Structure 1
Amino acid sequence: MKRLRHIMILTAIFISICNTPLVHGAEKSVESYTELTASELDAFIERMTVNLQSVKNLKSEFIQERHLSMFLDVLSAKGSLYFETQDKLRWELKEPYSSILIFNGGYIAKFNLENGKYVRMNLGMEDMFRESLRQILSIMRWDFKKVREDYKITILKGGDYNLVMRPVSTGMARIIKSLVLSIDPKSNYITKIIINEPHGDYIEIRFSGQEENRSFNQHLFDINNPLTQHHSESTLNKSK
């Protein structure tokens, strides 16, 4: 179960929401928002799907914070996200350690920096990783047909939109209580995600510096020899 929890938390990313010390505060903060009706929810998802059709890829910086009820200190990491709508995703941690997770056309690879070189790791439970990453890509494309089979979705409207996803299956609910995505109404970007766990721990991911429809070097998504952190930025503007 510990291994499964690690996989689901890692791959629930992007998405994948509030500045409070406890998860219960995070969920209470959305109560001041107005919940959309079923018809309003469908209209919102359809509108977002249309608005995002022109987005072919996206790059974003992120800060990821792990809040554990047994510790006062917050475990923080920084990195970059690269996404293409054709089933390509790169989740790269840069601080305090370096690792790269790549999903490309159904294939998955994870690399850790060891002795100055990126070494490909043995993932284990690859099918679970693959399904979780497919769900994430569906969310990023606003393809909610499959997502709504696995999660109960509500949307709350306030200064921004909070999309709350709660697992349907009891097995998944033992691992993840809810995912809450904060969506900017002007840019349509996901600006923040909180992954709530059943016993009060949570992960908060904040996104910034989003850039869309850039010309990515396709070696960013190479599952055998991906671009390193040094080269990924210098080759970002090169043509495919």
Structure 2
Amino acid sequence: MRARILFTLAFLLLWVAPVSPSDNEAVLDGLRKAAKDIHSVSADFVQRKKLEMFDEVMISKGRLALVKPDRLRWEYLEPVASGFALKGGKGRRWNEMIGRMDDFDIRQDPVMQVIVDQLLAWTNADLERMSRDFTLEVAGSEPVQLVLRPRVPAVGGFIERIAIRYAADKRSIQRVEVMEPGGDSTQLDFQDVRINTPLAEDLF
């Protein structure tokens, strides 16, 4: 379960026009302003996992739901139902294949803490939160693209670099992809993004 969620941390390899250092803060400020009035986000996603030693791409489908400041649901629907839901510092996770659901406390699970922090940071455009575990670089402005690199060895052990591409209006993420140290990569494409629509309390 944890391994599958780790794959959601991602890096996008694209040819983009360089952004000068003087423009970086303007790009980041635009993201902050666009996210200011966002209270909830929900979306479907398609995940494509490519292993360096195989030609086959593994495809999974799922959905995301988030309510500021700390409610998050991330779940895979195909090919195997699994995921987690978080409210505050406590949550539950499940996996249909092993028929198991258990509770967790994010404060006692450092890896889960990093995963949740980054998912919340990406969808909220919380740049300060992103910067806790990663350095941040503006790689493109139209559309906005950010490249993240791990600050600490514990994170660098499973993530080499991350990139995030935002939608044209800067209010949602279009694509995220990870490059792992061994050459594996995972791409997430977000679809049918819904902003500030009511979300049921029992999702979390």
TM-score (norm 2): 0.86
Instruction: Give the C-alpha shift of residue 176 in structure 1.
Output: 0.6
Instruction: Give the C-alpha shift of residue 59 in structure 1.
Output: 0.9
One-letter amino acid matched to 1:71:
F
Match of 2:166? 183
Q: Distance in 1 between matches of 2:103 and 2:40?
A: 28
Assess, with a 3 A threshold, how the Cα gap between structure 1 residues 7 and 99 changes in structure 2: closer, same or farther: closer
What SS class does the counterpart of residue 134 from structure 1 fall into?
helix
Instruction: Give the C-alpha shift of residue 8 in structure 1.
Output: 7.1
Q: Distance in 2 between matches of 1:36 and 1:8?
A: 34
Considering Cα pairs closer than 8 Å and 6+ residues apart, tell me whether 1 or 2 has the greater RCO.
2
Q: Distance in 2 between matches of 1:16 and 1:213?
A: 25
Q: Is the 8 A contact 2:10 2:186 kept in 1?
A: no
| Number of corresponding residues | 202
Assess, with a 3 A threshold, how the Cα gap between structure 1 residues 217 and 72 changes in structure 2: closer, same or farther: same
Match of 2:129? 146
Assess, with a 3 A threshold, how the Cα gap between structure 1 residues 11 and 105 changes in structure 2: closer, same or farther: farther
Q: Is the 8 A contact 2:10 2:161 kept in 1?
A: no
Q: 1:10 aligns with which of 5, 12, 30?
A: 5
Q: Is the 8 A contact 1:192 1:205 kept in 2?
A: yes
Instruction: Give the C-alpha shift of residue 127 in structure 1.
Output: 3.4
Deviations 1:178-222 (A, max 9, x none): 11111122353210110110121011111010011111110000x
Match of 1:172? 155
Match of 1:120? 101
What SS class does the counterpart of residue 204 from structure 1 fall into?
strand
Instruction: Give the C-alpha shift of residue 54 in structure 1.
Output: 1.2
Match of 1:236? none
Superposed, 1:1-240 pairs within 5 Å as 7=2, 10-11=5-6, 13=8, 26=13, 29-30=14-15, 33-113=16-96, 119-121=100-102, 126-157=109-140, 159-221=142-204
Instruction: Give the C-alpha shift of residue 159 in structure 1.
Output: 4.8
What SS class does the counterpart of residue 195 from structure 1 fall into?
strand
Match of 1:226? none
Q: Distance in 2 between matches of 1:149 and 1:114?
A: 34
What SS class does the counterpart of residue 10 from structure 1 fall into?
helix
RMSD over aligned CA atoms reads 2.5
Instruction: Give the C-alpha shift of residue 77 in structure 1.
Output: 0.5
Instruction: Give the C-alpha shift of residue 47 in structure 1.
Output: 1.8
Identity across aligned pairs (percent)? 20
Gap runs ≥5 in structure 1: 1-5, 19-25, 222-240
Q: Is the 8 A contact 2:91 2:103 kept in 1?
A: no
Instruction: Give the C-alpha shift of residue 171 in structure 1.
Output: 3.5
Deviations 1:9-63 (A, max 9, x none): 61573x5655xxxxxxx3xx33xx2332334222222221111111110110000
Q: Distance in 2 between matches of 1:41 and 1:88?
A: 30
Gap runs ≥5 in structure 2: none
